[in-house]
Structure 1
């Protein structure tokens, strides 16, 4: 993964979910990370973070331990059960080593005690994401293969022509095979209206499906969004 300080497009920039109940700290960290080249989504509570995690993709999570209601440990436990490869850096104002040990035992990848230098946070995030396993390079579904890095689709070994928008949408789905991607995420990512997204999905289906009216691979999850149903064991 490229260093977050390197110039990169918005699509390539690592996407961070920042969860902290302190508005001042959220604003400070968000401003700094954006200057460092990250995309940042903020949440003020564990419940708010859960809603963000349902519909958006993130490269790492910055999570405060002590929050009103559900604390960071509880959210961390759920997150690591669902997405064990998600890098998590925990923030704490507590000095007790027992609390840091608890977070690490629950699966946190790193710890940073408040107060801290924002630059240290950025460097720790970069190091965590470098250690993260690379996503599948090739996703297979039926007679199709999609190379995520090269953004190339083939059918039985023959190249399939895609428009730039179709290629971008397919890369989103192939980066999370089997996961439902919410409609609002697709709309925001493509800066398009709901109806235009439907049109683009239908056009892509005509290239992927034997019967676009009964899609086998690019499926509609009613009331939620869409998912790409890939073959098991993609590499």
Structure 2
């Protein structure tokens, strides 16, 4: 069943109201019918939705509007979704969900390495799209600090504000994606304790599977680039052989 068929069918099948009401989404797809169906479907479930026909159109919209999440088609004429994601990640931390007709593991990893928070292969069930959007928005951190826990974790020249969920280098804030923010929150809740890949997958709200664990490895690699002086020899976000990963603050 095609994307347009599944979306049309979904219009006749009411789904649960999303957890994140009034979030503003930007849908970027060169297929006009898919844009219209996605907009109608997501608006019906409580979102504010703006659409763009290509990367250039999306860039113009983003100059004047702020979005809570971007849904980008990978295969677009001109600048594709992967290139747009890579460029946006240099400047903003807005969560990104990629849509593509190619769903094998290598393509998924390429999307995550570009900076996407999640990756959904076409054709997809509208309910899965809705669940993934809500899962990404829930990963945008809300500060919760247990009594007695440190407010700030020091990682060499970098510090992590636990209450705000912010990473800083001196006076400069380091932009984190939604998934990177979620990982920092998870590690900060258990400093100096090894956390398995499976545990991280579960805490991120992902499905089980080797591909998801590999996706966590990609996110850890990207996070190390923002924390470590030498990401290839990590001091603070360590690999614990046979156990997973551990955040080891000063």
Report the TM-score when normalising by structure 1: 0.51
Select the residue among 124, 131, 138 that pairs with 1:123: 131
Structure 2: distance between partners of 1:7 and 1:131 = 12
Q: Is the 8 A contact 2:108 2:119 kept in 1?
A: yes
SS in 1 for 2:76: coil
Supply the distance in 2 between the matched residues of 1:94 and 1:113 (Cα, whole angstroms).
6
User: In 1, Cα distance between the equivalents of 2:127 and 2:17?
Assistant: 11
Q: Distance in 2 between matches of 1:27 and 1:108?
A: 23
Q: 1:184 maps to what in 2?
A: none
For 2:115, what is the secondary structure of its paired residue? coil
DSSP-derived class of the 1:95 partner: coil
- Number of the residue aligned with 1:221: none
Q: Does the 8 Å CA contact 1:7/1:37 hold for their aligned counterparts? A: no
Q: Does 1:43 align with 2:52?
A: yes
Q: Deviations over 1:131-158 (max 9, x none)?
A: 01349xxxxxxxxxxxxxxxxxxxxxxx
Q: Are 1:106 and 2:118 matched, yes or no? A: no
SS at the partner of 2:90? Answer: helix
- Change beyond 3 A, Cα 1:94–1:6: closer
RMSD: 2.0
Please show how residues 71-86 of structure 1 align to structure 2 within 5 Å.
71-84=80-93, 86=94
Take 2:19 and 2:126, find their aligned partners in 1: how far apart are those partners?
19
How far residue 27 of structure 1 moved from its aligned partner, in angstroms, is: 1.1
Determine the C-alpha separation between the residues in 2 that align with 1:44 and 1:134: 33
Distance in 1 separating the partners of 2:38 and 2:53: 13
Structure 1 residues 112 and 6, CA gap change in structure 2 (3 angstroms): closer
Q: Which runs of 4+ in 1 moved over 4 A?
A: none
In 2 relative to 1, CA 45–109 (structure 1 residues): closer, same or farther, beyond 3 Å?
same
Aligned length: 128
Structure 1 unpaired stretches of 5+: 136-235
Question: 1:64-116: per-residue Cα shift (whole Å, max 9, x none)?
Answer: 001000000111011111112x1111000013322211110111111111111
Higher Rg: 1
Structure 1 partner of 2:17: 5
Alignment partners' CA distance in 2, 1:35 and 1:19: 18
Measure the CA separation in 2 of the matches of 1:117 and 1:27: 16
1:50-61 aligned at under 5 Å gives the runs 50-61=59-70
